[in-house]
Amino acid sequence: MNLFNINTRQILVILGLLSISFASMAMTKPENVDVMDINGTRIHTFHGISNSHIIETKNALFMIDAQFMFKHADQLKSYIESIGKPMNMIVLSHNHPDHWFGTERLKGVAPIATSQNVIDDLKTGGGRYLKVLKKKLKGQLPEKVVVPDQTLALGAQQWGGLEVILEEFPEQEAHHTLIVKIPSLGVLIAQDMVYNNMFLVASERSRNQHWKEQLGQLKDKESKAYPHVLTGHGKNGGPELYQQNIDYLTDLENVMKENLSKEETTKKMIALYPERGGKGMLQISMRNLFSKGH
């Protein structure tokens, strides 16, 4: 086709095609979002530094965790708006900053809710994270701890017509971690109890041991009923992730038994897991393991 001989009809066709492609561009989901559809119910996972999972029920949204840096929280907010349903509740899984700093930017979106123990952990430990990260994250973190608006009871409840079960596990990656089970979908939202191919934020050795025991319980008890395991860091996966995390914590404990320096221990872990993401999280683990009073 000679470009100088385009007639009006051809111009209209070209304009029409362009508008279709612009419209589909606007609706395209961002690269850092994964969506799973189980029997017509969608769960959207937004991957920032940590994962936020949005459960889309018939008429409403429910979200687990709210990002670390403001720039990711703002992207998350736009993504929520693009789904076009009201957010009913933002649930915090634990008190680590990569899961709640972003709540500051989502304050008007929905009430923020979590268990009494996680609220207490935020009140006692939240301020320390703000102090430590103030310089590093300038302009990307709240001025003060965002205390949740609602206390959630544990056990079975209805979220937008969907039965969910809330359970809490003490003293592993965090002091308390809330997990969300959705029996009808076979979905277990484990958050930071389960990472996928990332360095874990390990804690002191006794807590890591406790973490392994809890992962063993989840593996034995929940693998069959919950084929979908949603993580706090890395891609979502299945029950195979429990063993992946147990193996990592076992390797870490074996290296710790060698009584090496912090630097040598770090090097050994990287040599064992050269492909893993989240080397910054390995540094946090080393601080937790080699300093007193964590």
* Binding footprint of Zn ion on the chain (CB under 5 A): 50, 96, 98, 192, 232
CB of 98 to Zn ion, least distance (A): 4
Q: Pick the closest to residue 54 from 94, 89, 22 (CA basis).
A: 89
Nearer to Zn ion, 56 or 98 (CB): 98
- CB of residue 99 to Zn ion, shortest distance in Å: 6
Q: Name, in order, each residue with C-beta under 8 angstroms of 110's C-beta and a sequence gap of 6 or more.
A: 63, 86, 87, 88, 89, 90
Q: How far is the CB of 11 from Zn ion (least distance, A)?
A: 53
- Which residues have C-beta within 8 Å of that of residue 52, sequence separation ≥ 6? 45, 46, 63, 64, 65, 66, 67, 76
Minimum CB distance to Zn ion smaller for 96 or for 207: 96
In the complex, what is the shortest distance from the CB of residue 259 to Zn ion, in angstroms, rounded to a whole number?
28
CB of 82 to Zn ion, least distance (A): 25
Q: Which residues pair with 263 in a beta bridge?
A: none
Of residues 182 and 190, the one with the C-beta less far from Zn ion: 190
Rounded to whole angstroms, how far apart are CA atoms 9 and 13? 6
C-beta of 50 vs 236, nearer to Zn ion: 50
Residues in contact with 184: Cβ distance below 8 Å, sequence separation at least 6, in sequence order: 39, 162, 163
118 versus 162: smaller Cβ distance to Zn ion: 118
